[in-house]
Amino acid sequence: MGPELDSWADGGARGAVEEFVSRVTDRDSDEYVEPAARVAVFDNDGTLWCEKPMQPQLDFTILQLREMAESDVALRSKQPWQAAFEGDATWLNEALLKHYRGDDGDLAVLMDAVSRAFGEVSVEEYEQRVRGFFQTTEHPSLGRPYRECGYAPMAELMRFLAHHGFTNYIASGGDRDFMRPVADALYGVPPERIIGSSLGLSYRAEANRSELLYKSAMEFFDDGPEKPVRIWSRIGRRPILSVGNSNGDIPMLAFSETAGAPALRMLIHHDDADREFAYDAGAEEALDHADRQGWTTVSMLSDWSHVFQDTVPCTVP
């Protein structure tokens, strides 16, 4: 007996998943899909782990920007260092919301600051900083470590799909190398199956030492129309199952459909103010799109019996 969707309420979204998986894995079905083509892609922030009041990566970045502002007084009057130094996440969150509404002005400023914060850092040093962050930092309002803010139903879904021959990938607007150190422990997705945004990289060799260093410039921002591009570039296949939660995920979900072929597109709806957060900001278009296109909307309130994995806390190595 394989893993079950125990955190999912009967019927609804769970029924849609079970029915879809049954169709594409039954050799007698007209919609049978060979295992190699059973590709599933998942957004990360707000889809696999909590993104309010700020994404873990944003909190991680704020800590770095604050250190920069503490050592350089001139930065304290410039965004986003000012927001980081003053402990005000409003400007930072608004920059992301503006992006989802089509205004990338403040996001460009934030991305420039991020590139300056991590430029010339080696990939190994960055990985150790990320691991340290997840080992010690708590979510600001949920009273639990960030490493325990992954959604239990989504981890179950990924295990369920893997048992039925699917290969799971994460395709996120978040930093690829921020997710890689923890995604295997949280979701069973190894580093080579993480697709995300990235700073540029350069190679340096000196004496008996060689290393990869981040450049002070973004290589690409993996959101919106860039997601299908990166998915195809990395996988070379169209996914048949995709899950997102925001306007930036619309192209990824749309890319998961081919005329005459089976597809399941799912949108996580944050409508549970008691166990997590209730908000539609940044997802208005996606929710409308899901309704018009017949995509499966997953209600955190009614489709999930619980949100976080309380009984088996995740240990990040």
CA–CA separation, 91 and 83 (whole Å): 7
Continuous segment of H or E residues that includes residue 196: strand 194-206
Please give the Cα distance from 91 to 94 (Å, whole number): 5
Q: Are 196 and 57 in contact (CB under 8 A)?
A: no
- The answer for residues whose C-beta is within 8 angstroms of residue 250's C-beta and 6 or more apart is 224, 244, 285, 286, 289
Domains of the chain, first to last: 12-51+146-303 (3.40.50.1000), 56-136 (no CATH)
The H or E element spanning position 264 is strand 264-269
Q: Is 207 helix (H, G, I), strand (E, B) or coil?
A: coil
Of 81, 54, 82, 87, nearest to 65 by C-alpha is 81
Per-residue pLDDT of the chain (317 residues; tens, 9 = 90+): 678 999 999 999 999 999 999 999 999 999 999 999 999 999 999 999 999 988 899 899 889 899 999 999 999 999 989 988 988 878 877 887 787 778 888 888 888 888 888 888 999 999 999 999 999 999 999 989 999 999 999 999 999 999 999 999 999 999 999 999 999 999 999 999 999 999 999 999 988 889 999 998 889 889 999 999 999 999 999 999 999 999 999 999 999 988 889 999 999 999 999 999 999 999 999 999 999 999 999 999 999 999 997 644 455 55
User: In terms of Cα–Cα distance, which of 290, 219, 277 is closest to 249?
Assistant: 290
Q: Beta strands 194-206 and 209-220: pairing type? A: antiparallel
Token representation of residue 214: 């981040």
Q: Where are the alpha helices (DSSP H) in 211-249?
A: 226-235
Token reading at 294? 């017949």
| Cα-based distances in Å from 182 to 130, 189, 217 | 8, 9, 24
| Interatomic CA distance for residues 46 and 279, integer angstroms | 11
136 DSSP assignment: H
Report which secondary-structure segment, H or E, holds 172.
strand 167-175
HSE-CB for 166 with a 13 A CA cutoff: 30
Query: DSSP string covering 269-316, please?
Result: E-B-TTTS-B--TT-HHHHHHHHHHTPEEEEHHHHBS-SB--SS----
